[in-house]
Amino acid sequence: MDELNVYAAIGEDGFSRLIAAFYKQVPDDDILGPMYPRHDLAGAEQRLRDFLIGRFGGPPRYIEERGHPRLRMRHMPFTLDEAARDRWVALMNRALDEVALPAEVTLLLREFFATTATFLRNA
């Protein structure tokens, strides 16, 4: 499975289900809940979904609307320490378990999320 084939494999629906399963856990999470905009969780959900769709071979909506991702810079306002990193990855892994995408897609995304989350640590 090549990264750019993921969108062809799971489509809008696969990404939408995954990111919805992630965000529904966020409000009640003791570490992540307070970090995300309570009034604009739907917007946050859309930003992450559009970013991933563009990153994995789908339409480049994120870049069209937000410009270059510069994810490290965009995460600087948040204290992204080991606990926050591990929790984010744990919630995403739970979402991946729940939505049960094809095995090779799940494996690729797990590795991508773990690596990117480590890269984003700033504390």
By CB under 6 A, name the one of 8, 71, 73, 76 that touches ligand HEM: 71
Residue 79 zone, left/alpha/beta (φ > 0; ψ -120 to 50; rest) = beta
By CB under 6 A, name the one of 10, 15, 47, 109 that touches ligand HEM: 47
Q: Whose CA is closest to 21, among 82, 101, 105, 103?
A: 101
Stretch that binds ligand HEM, among 1-9, 16-24, 80-88, 94-102 (CB under 6 A): 80-88
By CB under 6 A, name the one of 1, 20, 44, 63 that touches ligand HEM: 44
Closest distance of CB 44 from ligand HEM, Å: 4
Query: Between residues 1 and 35, which has the closer beta carbon with respect to ligand HEM?
Result: 35
């570490």: which residue's tokens? 31
CA gap 81, 123 in Å, rounded? 5
> Between vectors from CA 57 to CA 55 and to CA 63, what angle results, nearest 5°?
45
CB-CB contact of 35 with 78 (8 Å) = yes
Residue 20 interacting with ligand HEM (CB under 6 A)? no
Q: Which residues bind ligand HEM (CB under 6 A)?
A: 32, 35-37, 44, 47-48, 51, 66, 71, 74-75, 78, 80, 84-85, 88, 113, 116-117, 120
